[in-house]
Amino acid sequence: MTVATRSRVRSTLRLLSTLLIVSGSLLLADAGATLVWEEPVSSLYAQFQQGDLQDQLDRLERVKPTPVEEKALKKLPDPERRLAFAARSLDRKTHEGDAVGKILIDRIGLSSVVVEGTDAGDLRKGPGHYPGTPLPGQRGTVAIAGHRTTYGAPFRKIDKVRPGDEINVVMPYGRFTYKVERTRIVAPTAVWVTQRVSYDRLILSACHPLYSAAKRIVVFARLIRAVPRGAAA
C-alpha cells in the first residue's frame, strides 16, 4: 500500500468516525429531549397540524346554520336542547381527522385543537374524540384520548391534573366546563370508562406510564356549566 493510499484510507476512516460521533450525539440529544419534554421530530409535525386544524376550526365557527337548522333552533327555547341539537348537527357533518373543538386545561398549560377520531393518523394531529361517544352538549360520557410522548404530547402532564381542576372544551356551538373528580389507572381493555352514567361527564385517556402502553391513565370530570355560543346562542 502506497503512502498516498494509506493517507486516503486514514482520511476516510476519520470522516466515518466523525459521522458516527455526530449521529450518536444527535440520537442521544433526541432521546434526552424525549425523556425531558417530548419527541422533537413528531412534535414539530404536530405543531404544523395544529396550525392547520386551528384554521379549520376558525372556518367552522363562521359557518352559518342552514335554513332548516335555523328554523329548528328557533323552536328550541331551552339552551340545553339547542346545544344538543347543535352537537348532533356537527356530529353528522364531521369526518375522522376533522377539527371539532378545543380543549383547555390551565393546570397543565394545555390549549389544543381536538380532532374527530382516535386512529393513529388522527392522534398525530392532536387529542382525538372517541367516535363512539357523544360530543359535548349531548347526554352521556364524552371521551378524548391523547399522546403523552410523541406528536406534541398534549396529555404528557395529564397525571398532574387534580380533583377540583376545571377542564374547558370549546365547541363551535358552546363552551363546556367540567370539574375533575378523580384519576384512575386502568387496563387498556377497560371500556367501562366510556359508559354513560347518571350525569354528563368527560374522560381524558392516555397511555401510562410514560413510554409504555401497558396501562391507561383516565381523568374523570363532571359537567358543571354549558354556555351556548354561535348558532346555539
- CATH level 3 topology of 40-232: Sortase; Chain: A; (2.40.260)
How far is Cα of residue 143 from the mean position of the Cα atoms in its chain? 11
Distance of CA 186 to CAs 57, 143, 155, 171, 217, Å? 32, 15, 16, 28, 6
Strands (E), the chain: 99-105, 110-116, 128-129, 141-145, 166-171, 174-186, 201-208, 215-228
Dist. CA 105–CA 221, nearest whole Å:
12
* 129 is known as an active-site residue: no
Burial class (CB in 10 A: 0-12, 13-18, 19+), 81: middle
* 207 is known as an active-site residue: yes
Residue 155 cell numbers, joined: 396529555
Residue 61 cell numbers, joined: 365557527
Print pLDDT tens along the chain (233 aa). Answer: 565 665 665 666 555 444 433 333 323 333 344 344 457 788 888 888 999 999 999 999 999 999 999 999 989 989 999 999 999 999 999 999 999 999 999 999 999 999 999 999 999 999 999 999 999 999 999 999 999 999 999 999 999 999 999 999 999 999 999 999 999 999 999 999 999 999 999 999 999 999 999 999 999 999 999 999 998 98
Which of 95, 129, 147, 208 is an active site residue?
A: 147
* Three-state DSSP class for residue 30: helix
- The domains of the chain are located at 1-36, 40-232
